[in-house]
Homo-oligomer: A and B are copies of this chain.
Amino acid sequence: MSTKPSGASSAPPASLTERRKAATQLEIAHAAAELFAAQGPHATTAEEIARHAGVALRTFYRYFRSKQDAVSPLLAAGADRWRALLEAAEPGTGLSRALEAAMEQSLAAPDEDAARALLRTRGLLRAAADDPALRAVWYRVNQESEERLVPVVARLADGRLEAVQVRLAAAAATDAIRIALETWADTEAGVTGEGSPASLALDCLRQLMGGMGALTSDGEAAG
């Protein structure tokens, strides 16, 4: 866990068993996403997901704490990629610039897999509209993304922000992605170009970073 070099770059540092476990987890997640999007989470039993993934019910619960949790890796994938890019950014860049740059990289020109992932996310968000339990997973995923973002933002701020300010910045950045994805899920826009998650998220991020002051000062300028 600690002193394992485990290879050089981003190659799978996995033994056969490790790779199988990762594959099984993805297998389950995809099975769950498919069933959830098709018939809704409520009408889907954990048993059913396990069967589709080719594992026993007991095994399912060794990979995920709850039925709905099964899709959380898919829902978190986007934010995870974004955060990984941020971790690689240089501290001197300036926070909002770094945030925007990473956002552009992670969402702007998605490959085939990323595009499929986005469409899957849309399907899940739409299923979440009628299912409180699935919505709860979406909330949790975003919240955990925010928490994981805190140390990254702290590093980028390089000591120029207080702890609370760091948390606020992480929250605002997470809001940008969340609201962009939710807004996009309500539309039929594609994964690139006008109305895409990428452009929406950038808009949201700039609004929040540019300051709500710009949004609110209109009425107060005179009075």
A residues apposed to B, CB below 8 Å: 65, 92-97, 132, 135-136, 139-140, 143, 157-158, 160-161, 164-165, 167-169, 171-172, 175-176, 178-179, 183, 200, 203-204, 207-220, 223
Other 19 A-B pairs with CB < 8 A, given A94-B223, A95-B216: A65-B132, A94-B218, A95-B219, A97-B220, A135-B143, A139-B139, A139-B140, A157-B215, A164-B179, A165-B215, A168-B179, A168-B212, A169-B212, A169-B215, A172-B212, A208-B208, A210-B211, A211-B212, A211-B213
- CA of A172 to CA of B157 in the docked complex: distance in angstroms? 20
- CA of A179 to CA of B219 in the docked complex: distance in angstroms? 27
Chain B residues with CB under 8 A of A214: 211
Q: Which of B140, B143, B211 has a CB less than 8 Å from the CB of A211?
A: B211
Closest residue on chain B to residue A213 by CB atoms? B211
A208 touches B132 (CB 8 A): no
CB distance from A180 to the nearest CB of B (A): 8
- CA of A85 to CA of B213 in the docked complex: distance in angstroms? 21
A168 touches B213 (CB 8 A): no
Consensus secondary structure, chain A interface:
helix
Chain B residues with CB under 8 A of A168: 175-176, 179, 204, 207-208, 212, 215
CB distance from A161 to the nearest CB of B (A): 6
B160 touches A219 (CB 8 A): yes
Closest residue on chain B to residue A142 by CB atoms? B139
- CA of A172 to CA of B216 in the docked complex: distance in angstroms? 13
Q: Which of B139, B160, B204, B219 has a CB less than 8 Å from the CB of A218?
A: B160
